[in-house]
Amino acid sequence: MTIVRRALPPLVALIACAVTYAQAAPQPAMPPTTIESTGKATLDMTPDFADFTFVHDFSADTAEAALKLASPLAASLEEELKKRELAYRDCTAIGPVLLSQDPPAAQSSVVVRFALGTFQTSATGQEEFGALSDKLKQLGKDLGCAVSKPVFAVADVKSAESTALGSAVENAYAWGEGVARVLAAVITSVENVRVVEVKWGDTADLKRISCTATVNVKYTAVAGQS
């Protein structure tokens, strides 16, 4: 048997070489892409304090007179707290501020803080705290003040918020990493972290307060490296 070898036409040979080169040549790297994700985390803690705010509005013939009437509220309130043997931690005066010039009116506020330790450890702590709230409400009436419901707080607010934010960032990364995996890419750097919200929960629980943090994170991811 005789085998006849035929040369490829020049054009066909050129196309074949081009295809072979294209298969062997390295593919250009995909440009970096941005992945954006949102993370949220809630941190539960035991509150250290309860804050009650006393607010009093004063009116007079002049703005100056109204402000003078409002000024002594903090001193008067502290005096009454001591007389009634209400063991507060501290008082913080806010104002006085001018509410209106016509008619002249001013407002003074005082935040009274109480430690919660004894209420949290006592078997009847909830009832004792309720009794304290009743006494403060009556004190407010006697002084002509509106009294807010208690707002619970922790001693180290900055540290608590920082911890909640850190957990939110971790949760955002987990989601961003999942997106990168779908794109056959890996996250190489963090472009930006934006705090969306830090919110303290409004609760009446003497033994629990929550801080919820939400963040938005942008990452740089490079495809083809997963």
H/E/C letters for each residue in 142-167? Answer: HHCCEECCCEEECCCHHHHHHHHHHH
Same-domain check for residues 139 and 92 = yes
pLDDT in tens, the chain (226 residues): 444 444 444 433 433 343 344 444 455 556 788 999 999 999 999 999 999 999 999 999 999 999 999 989 999 999 999 999 999 999 999 989 999 998 999 999 999 999 999 999 999 999 999 999 999 999 999 999 999 999 999 999 999 999 999 999 999 999 999 998 998 888 999 999 999 999 998 777 899 999 999 999 999 999 865 4
- Residue ending a domain, among 123, 153, 183, is 153
Domain boundary among 128, 153, 178: 153
Note whether residue 201 is domain-resident. yes
Residues 140 and 188 both lie in one domain: no
Domain count, the chain: 2
* Rounded Cα–Cα distance for residues 215 and 224 (Å): 28
Domain co-membership, 138 together with 197: no
Q: Does 59 share its domain with 138?
A: yes
pLDDT recorded at residue 33: 87
**Could you tell me if 78 and 133 lie in one domain?**
yes
**Is residue 1 in a domain?**
no
- Joined together, the tokens standing for residue 103 give 């008619």
**13 assigned to some structural domain:** no
Using DSSP, how many helices (H) and how many strands (E) does the chain show? 6, 8
Residue keyed to tokens 């918020």: 161
Identify the CATH number of the domain in which residue 110 sits. 3.30.70.260
Domain match, 179 and 140 both:
no
Q: Which residues does residue 223 pair with via DSSP β-bridges, in sequence order?
A: 185
Residue 161's CATH number: 3.30.110.170
- Which range of residues forms the domain containing residue 141? 49-153
Q: Are residues 125 and 67 in the same domain?
A: yes
Q: Is this prediction's pTM over 0.85?
A: no
In this structure, the answer to whether residues 182 and 109 fall within a common structural domain is no
Residue where a domain stops, chosen among 133, 153, 173: 153
Alpha-helical (H) ranges within the chain are 10-24, 63-70, 73-83, 117-121, 125-143, 157-182
The answer to whether residue 21 is domain-embedded is: no
Q: Amino acid identity of 198?
A: V
